[in-house]
Amino acid sequence: MKMKLLIIEDEKITRISLSNTLAAEGFEVFSAGDGEEGLAIFSREMPDIVITDLRLPKISGMEILERVITLKADCRVILITAYATVETAVRALKTGAYDYLTKPFSPEELLSILRKIKQFNIVLEENKELKKRINLLENRTIIGNSPAMKKLSELISQIAQNDSTVLIEGESGTGKELVARALHQHGPRRNEPFIVVSCSSIPDTLLESELFGHEKGAFTGAVNRHTGYFERANKGTLFIDDIDDIPLLMQVKLLRVIQERELTRVGGSDNVKIDVRIIAATKVNLKKKVELREFRDDLYYRLNIIPVRIPPLRERKDDLPILIKHFFGKYGSEKKFELLNEEILKRMIEYNWPGNVRELENIVQRIIALSFLGTPDFTLIEFPGQSVRYSPAPDSEVNYPPFEEYILQKEKEIIDWALKKSEDNISRAAKLLGIPRTTLTSKLNKFLC
């Protein structure tokens, strides 16, 4: 689509010659001989670019600039001035002009500014498109219409705005990280970093230097200075996951940093000021850990300023339909939602979801992968604890089914495992099983018969 450009210039010859040059360059050109006419055209056409003389009858170029920017913030305004004084130019740029030209100027000078605008707009459009795609892929909306989730969403919007420490409690897979990200995204620190540190994935011996950083030579192997998670999150949010896993000794150090809002790197002596919002998450009831003296009460109270509890999925089964639909959409198969039959929906509702929303997401992904081979056979979807079909009896009285059937069942199990492991990528699953892809596909087809 052509970019719209408005020229406001009282000198007829300049106006006409500019109009012709720019029309030839591929712009849709409008022109006006004074500011009043210029603004009238502007309101009607909402052009992308305005080129205006600074000294005009009736309304000055500066006033036009101000009005244009208020009406359309992303409009690019180029000012033309015959008597460039540095002050006017600076004032114009400060007000929001894109650039300015001093008379006399060559058409090439103007064209080079316009080409830059064109290129910038292309990049801007691409950027918008990419952001849209990232959003779709990272779909971070908290879904749920159960009373508990509605309340949670309300709470999030209330507490995102302030800087208080939040303690999120929820079983594995309930969406603790999702909630933490939502708090960051809706709060004033949204344009600063959101850093995640999982205490359970860092060995106890490294926890201190990972959290607070270390100086060069602090210990054997500390070849360079290392910036810790706290410093990396500066100005933003630090999400401390699995806080229930941190050892007692580290709890003391963490408490000090949270209280003082400053830290000392391992092997260092300087106090480094930090400005971070802390969101911690626990998968167990931390209060109980405090009672058992496995977690320091002073740290607990420091963290538990605003408690947020995410109920397990089995306590809010009303959320199942909307979540299932959401995950079908997230993996690009909205229409396949209709493939779900009564039987599988019933099983999904009866199931108690020990792995919560994460488990549900995995199962939907599995259903989608299976549906690439035709109408999915839902018996292939395992619900641990629910499918009791060929599980061996606990004692010696094992009652095996006929051999062929048994082997087929075992094959299903191992293929299911490989698909899960490879995130439903058939080629990778085949590789994992050490069989050609075609063999795996034919086996999957066999199951569907």
Ligand X SMILES: Nc1ncnc2c1ncn2[C@@H]1O[C@H](COP(=O)(O)OP(=O)(O)OP(=O)(O)O)[C@@H](O)[C@H]1O
Contacts with ligand X, residue ranges (CB under 6 A):
142-144, 170, 172-178, 283, 326, 357-358, 361
Handedness of CA 281, 287, 290, 294 (dihedral sign): negative
Using CB distances below 5 to 8 A depending on partner kind, what does residue 361 bind out of Mg ion, ligand X, none?
ligand X
CB of 173 to Mg ion, least distance (A): 8
CB of 159 to ligand X, least distance (A): 17
The C-alpha angle with vertex 75 and arms to 117 and 31, in degrees rounded to 5, equals 90
Using the CB atoms, write b or e for 287-319: b if 16+ within 10 Å.
Answer: eebbeeeebbeebbebbbebebebbbbeebbeb
CB of 310 to ligand X, least distance (A): 7
Using CB distances below 5 to 8 A depending on partner kind, what does residue 142 bind out of ligand X, Mg ion, none?
ligand X
Q: Which is nearer to Mg ion, 29 or 243 (CB)?
A: 243
Using CB distances below 5 to 8 A depending on partner kind, what does residue 282 bind out of Mg ion, ligand X, none?
none
Using CB distances below 5 to 8 A depending on partner kind, what does residue 178 bind out of Mg ion, ligand X, none?
ligand X
Cα(420)–Cα(414) distance, rounded to whole angstroms? 10
Q: Which is nearer to ligand X, 174 or 304 (CB)?
A: 174
CB of 226 to ligand X, least distance (A): 25
Q: Which is nearer to Mg ion, 15 or 181 (CB)?
A: 181
State the residue number with the nearest CB to ligand X: 175
Q: Which helix (H) or strand (E) holds 132?
A: helix 107-137
Cα(434)–Cα(429) distance, rounded to whole angstroms? 9
C-beta separation of 30 from 9 below 8 A: no
Using CB distances below 5 to 8 A depending on partner kind, what does residue 207 bind out of Mg ion, ligand X, none?
none
C-beta separation of 64 from 50 below 8 A: yes
Q: Is 3 helix (H, G, I), strand (E, B) or coil?
A: coil
CB of 180 to ligand X, least distance (A): 8
Using CB distances below 5 to 8 A depending on partner kind, what does residue 38 bind out of ligand X, Mg ion, none?
none
**Which of 27, 168, 214 lies closest to 107 in space, CA to CA?**
27
Residues 161-190 that bind Mg ion (CB under 5 A): 177
**Which of 334, 409, 394, 387 lies closest to 364 in space, CA to CA?**
334
Cα(291)–Cα(245) distance, rounded to whole angstroms? 16
Q: Which two tokens stand for residue 212?
A: 């607070």
CB of 140 to ligand X, least distance (A): 7
Q: Which is nearer to Mg ion, 257 or 280 (CB)?
A: 280
Q: According to the binding rule CB under 5 A, does residue 244 interact with Mg ion?
A: no
Q: Which is nearer to ligand X, 265 or 326 (CB)?
A: 326
Interacting residues toward Mg ion by CB under 5 A: 177
